[in-house]
Amino acid sequence: GLFLTRYTDRGQSSMLIASQMEPTYARRVYPCFDEPAMKATFNIRIIHDPSYVALSNMPAIDVSEVKDENGSLWTVTTFNTSLKMSTYLTAFVICDFDYVSRTERGNEIRIWARKEAIKNGYVDYALNITGPIFSFLEDILNVSYPLPKTDLVALPDFGAGGMENWGLMIFQEAALMNLPSDEFTSKKAIIALIVSHELGHQWFGNLVTMNWWNDLWLNEGLASYFEYLGATFVEPKLSLDKIFYAHVVQPVLREDSEIARSLSESEDKIKGSFSLMSLFDNITYSKGAAITWMLSSFLTEKLFVRALASYLKEFSFSNANQDDLWTHIQMVVDAQDEVQLPAPVKQIMDSWTCQNGFPVLTLNLTTGTVRQEQFFNKNNRKSTDSYNNTWIIPISWMRNGSSQPLTWLDTSSKMFPEMQVSESEYDWILLNVNLSGYYRVNYDQLNLKRLAHLLENDPKAIPAVSRFQLIDDVFALTEFGYVPIETALELTKYLAREDELFIWNMVLLNLIPDNFESTLKNHEVYPLLKKYLLKRMLPIYHYYAGFIRQNVDALEDDFFAQMYLEKLMATACWLGLQDCLDLSSELFAKWRDNPEYKIPFLVRRTVCCYGVAVGTDKEWNFAWEMYNHTDSIEEDEDILLYALSCTKEPWLLHRYLQYGLSDTLFSSNCTSVIISHVMTKDIGHRIAWEFVTENWPLLSQGYGHELLHDVLKVMGRFVKTDVQIQELQVFYNATLEEDEREAITTLLESAKHENVERRKLLIKVASWLEKNVDD
């Protein structure tokens, strides 16, 4: 609704009022029929304190004064009548901000922010890209932007990342600002993506709105698709397909198999069982974008954009549902003969938007048979579950490195004679190239052997995104019980020749999940993993370590280094690579000698952690001192809170937890952060657990049960036997209510089950590594 924010600007305390209506908060601000399909024009007038400026969707056409009954002067700002629009897009901001502006094709673009932020040039980058992205979208969609002005407002405090209100977009400050001196692509990319997303909404959402919230993906999926096109247009150094796969497709494939809803649900189902807010999730945004990408691939971008233009023109200032989009695509397909589809557009697309989940394709290359089934977790399938969905699936594929014509699987299984391979081990097949389909692929052993062999001899014969897909698919298939873990490990042998960080990042997340480092460290698999992985990591590690030592600015255009180098370096140090530990202590010592020195942000977290870990209490005390410096920025504070828990000295961890208790040193929410940091460390989890149980009376006053839940979740990672569960139970039986106890017991039981399963898996991994560690 309408909300008030307090913030500081130039050392002064200030206030502003702003609005957030989507999905159903307009009714809290003014009486209305608050439904997306009930579009209207709005005449808006705001009466406010003269020292503030008032903004709304349309330009102000009149500013006058009025006295109230006490004789005080007020300003009356009247805005032009809006276009026909939905209530959830109306917006108001009353603030004391400055702005920078420029005009693009007659559209006046202003970016408003705190005065000091404007003065320091923090929004200059956002201003430089907004106009060009507008023009890019106008040109590609062939529909011009209908408003005379656009305001983008950066709020110090805003619940969403951004909101696309027509003509008055509102952003979280961090999403719109960067330091003019910061030439690193990653920060710019984040701003470009979010601006591009909200600008995409000016067409998909604002000009044409979904009939009702059950088709929200027509707004969010399309805006998320254009978000990546727009961002890579203004930042051409970003690789569109790699980023789209790593940030959109792969994460949502991980999630989509566990979620019980389809992209487009019926109105009744949503009114019955979902809250509207829960629709603003990864399915709506990322699956929506991934399916749009697939659609654009099999139609060709030319036809897809032509259909979108026709859809936008017909439904401008009005509403549509997904069938309307299918109709316009069908019209465009029918009017040409280059692209032939195996079925009507609606039938193809409904299989992706109206069914839960997605398919996995299983190949038999001796017979050339491809069959599909819904991808689900075979390890915990109940016999009653039925998974008999089928999809109409576009298959883009290559054979021995050359692209083949697009083909379709429109039944549950089909023979493709052209996919039968010969005896030659150089005859291989790769499906779903250019990530053109939203599915996973399960190859037969024969083809996987050939692909593994190819990777070892000539990894570049397979395009980078396809290498990523191939390996990620196999790990996902392993996890869901389709193939044994050894199959996935075979594909990692080639990694010494892999120079793409985004692929390394995915492999490391699969092999060493973020939260299991400490459990792996205590397992016999660790020394084997160390030997196997370090041998393969050295080339890429040394390549990047050279930049970190000599010239980190040379990496300013390397987006993936800024996103993923940290994980690579942290893994190298975790595996005990001497050069990594030395590099960390060198850079940390440099900082100790000169607190003005900045450790490169790409690896700051790892360097601080291992600087403390290999150091003594001197290093620890220095980090503590720097944490307590008043002028440190929040990001660095988080890094230091984490680094302080990396020490290998139990007495320092004890002391750290004690410091965390004394409320003078900390804002209250840090205590629980400290406890969970210490608890995730291999020597810390017992220390932290004892600390929590001894100090519970004190802790429970400040944090209550939330803290206990977090603590028990982390302790769950270490639970392998019933005796261990009982030990935890004794404690929480005395502290929790009965219904909460049951929930925690279930949580720990399933954690134990997972840990037992994981140990079985690790035994397999260890025995495979033993055989392969010297290859």
**Residue 341: what pLDDT?**
96
Q: Is residue 651 part of a domain?
A: no
Same domain as 335, residue 269: yes
Bind-site residues for Zn(2+): 197, 201, 220
Burial (Cβ within 10 Å: 0-12, 13-18, ≥19) of residue 402: exposed
Averaged confidence pLDDT in the chain: 92
- For residue 27, how many other CB atoms are within 10 A of its CB? 15
Bind-site residues: 197, 201, 220
Same domain as 9, residue 156: yes
* pLDDT band for position 632 (cuts 50, 70, 90): low
* pLDDT band for position 383 (cuts 50, 70, 90): low
Helix (H, G, I), strand (E, B) or coil at 318: strand
Same domain as 6, residue 155: yes
Clarify whether 198 is annotated catalytic: yes
Higher pLDDT, 381 or 297: 297
Q: Is residue 614 part of a domain?
A: no
**Residue 131: what pLDDT?**
97
Q: Is residue 316 part of a domain?
A: yes
Mean pLDDT within 103-112: 96
pTM: 0.92
Phi, psi of 71 (to 5 degrees): 85, 5
- For residue 245, how many other CB atoms are within 10 A of its CB? 25
Higher pLDDT, 373 or 714: 373
Residue 667 has pLDDT above 70, yes or no: no
Same domain as 52, residue 7: yes
Mean pLDDT within 162-169: 97
**Residue 382: what pLDDT?**
64
H or E segment to which residue 584 belongs: helix 578-593
Same domain as 258, residue 317: yes
Same domain as 155, residue 32: yes
Residue 564 has pLDDT above 70, yes or no: yes
Instruction: Look at the block and give the residue holding tokens 């220095």.
Output: 622
Read off the pLDDT of residues 33-74 as tens digits, 9 standing for 90 and up. Answer: 999 999 999 999 999 999 999 999 999 999 999 999 999 999
**Residue 712: what pLDDT?**
81
Single out the residue of 95, 111, 82, 107 nearest to residue 15, CA to CA. Answer: 95
Mean pLDDT within 742-762: 85
User: Which residue pairs, CB below 8 angstroms and at least 24 apart, start in 524-530?
Assistant: 524/766, 525/762, 525/765, 525/766, 525/769, 528/766, 528/769, 528/770, 528/773, 529/575, 529/765, 529/769, 530/575, 530/576
Residue 246 has pLDDT above 60, yes or no: yes
Same domain as 83, residue 30: yes
Higher pLDDT, 722 or 272: 722
User: Which CATH number does the domain housing residue 471 bear?
Assistant: 2.60.40.1910
Of 183-197, 220-234, 689-703, the range with the highest mean pLDDT is: 220-234
Residue 315 has pLDDT above 80, yes or no: yes
**Residue 560: what pLDDT?**
93
Instruction: Give yes or no for a contact between 362 and 370, defined as CB atoms under 8 angstroms apart.
Output: yes
Higher pLDDT, 150 or 730: 150
Question: Which has the minimum average pLDDT: 19-23, 66-70, 602-606, 627-631?
Answer: 627-631
Helix (H, G, I), strand (E, B) or coil at 276: helix
Question: Which has the minimum average pLDDT: 88-92, 217-221, 254-258?
Answer: 254-258
Mean pLDDT within 332-359: 96
* pLDDT band for position 385 (cuts 50, 70, 90): low
Read off the pLDDT of residues 185-203 as tens digits, 9 standing for 90 and up. Answer: 888 999 999 999 999 999 9
Same domain as 252, residue 160: no
Q: Is residue 111 part of a domain?
A: yes
User: Which CATH number does the domain housing residue 244 bear?
Assistant: 1.10.390.10
**Residue 273: what pLDDT?**
66
Mean pLDDT within 466-478: 96
Residue of 22, 198, 479, 500 with catalytic role: 198
Higher pLDDT, 348 or 699: 348
Domain that holds residue 436: 372-491
Same domain as 254, residue 291: yes
Higher pLDDT, 443 or 729: 443
Question: pLDDT over 70 for what percent of the chain?
Answer: 97
Q: Is residue 303 part of a domain?
A: yes
Q: Indicate the number of domains in the chain.
A: 3
